[in-house]
Amino acid sequence: MNLSEGTHLGYINNPLQDTDIQRIIGFVGLIKISTQKGEGVILIEHGTIIAASFISGKTTHFGSRALEIINATTPGRMELRSYNPYEFKEAVEACRDGNFLLVDEPRLPAIPDLLDENILQKVLVQPGVIAVSVFSEGFPIQSLGTADFDQVAAMAEELLRVGFRIAEDMKIGLVARIVLETNSGKIIVVPYGDLFLCVFTGPDANIGLIQQVLRSIQRDAGLQDPGTGWSPAGSV
């Protein structure tokens, strides 16, 4: 199946076994699989598998059978490649032509849409907010505003690691949020389900108001209140 390469985002474990499911919440794009038994692809739309194929030797498997083989091979890592709307539309058409689409066979549990743009917009419209980004393991997954989101996600990931290490070394409990203030801007990092949310602001932004909004969207999504803290285990 000839599909667009998309944009490389990194690597994940096997989401068919729920070992790295948080990385594909809201994800639109391709997961590429390479094993000793062959190569395969899985097409994802907002965290749901909609097509799959696996080529072993001269045999091409598709749909449910392809997923079974991919899961059975238990590849160590799978490559994430994101699609823009045009690339995704072309991929769906190619999968439809090749009979690779799955019909009414979701392989992943229902997941709240934490990446709803309207939710992130509630943060972005707050006075002084420049950008907001949901990220995981240093990769931006959904972002709004004006910023170098690759840099923001990488920086926020490093803040998490440093914050976790300090809290652990000092034995002062779990990290509830991380706030970095400079003379030219502020950065807030909070947990967001199994993901993390980073807010980038100007120097005059009202931190208290922004944190109140973050708690509100956390509660509206039925997620853990950021005030209760979270630990690095299974997160970074």
Q: Where are the chain's structural domains?
A: 7-97, 117-228
Mean pLDDT of 184-203: 86
- What are the tens digits of pLDDT across the range 212-228? 898 887 777 665 544 44
Q: Give the Å distances, CA to CA, from 68 to 61, 78, 100, 224.
A: 10, 15, 14, 34
pLDDT at residue 106, as a whole number: 42
pLDDT at residue 110, as a whole number: 39
> What's the rounded Cα separation, in Å, for the pair 175 and 164?
7
> What's the rounded Cα separation, in Å, for the pair 136 and 152?
12
> What's the rounded Cα separation, in Å, for the pair 165 and 185?
24
Whether residue 175 contacts residue 163, with contact meaning beta carbons closer than 8 Å, is answered with: yes
pTM, entire model: 0.51
- Identify the architecture of domain 117-228 in CATH: 2-Layer Sandwich (3.30)
Nearest to 114 by CA among 89, 87, 132, 92: 132
Q: Give the Å distances, CA to CA, from 191 to 50, 92, 158, 214.
A: 29, 33, 14, 10
- What are the tens digits of pLDDT across the range 25-66? 667 888 888 888 888 888 888 778 888 888 888 888 888 888
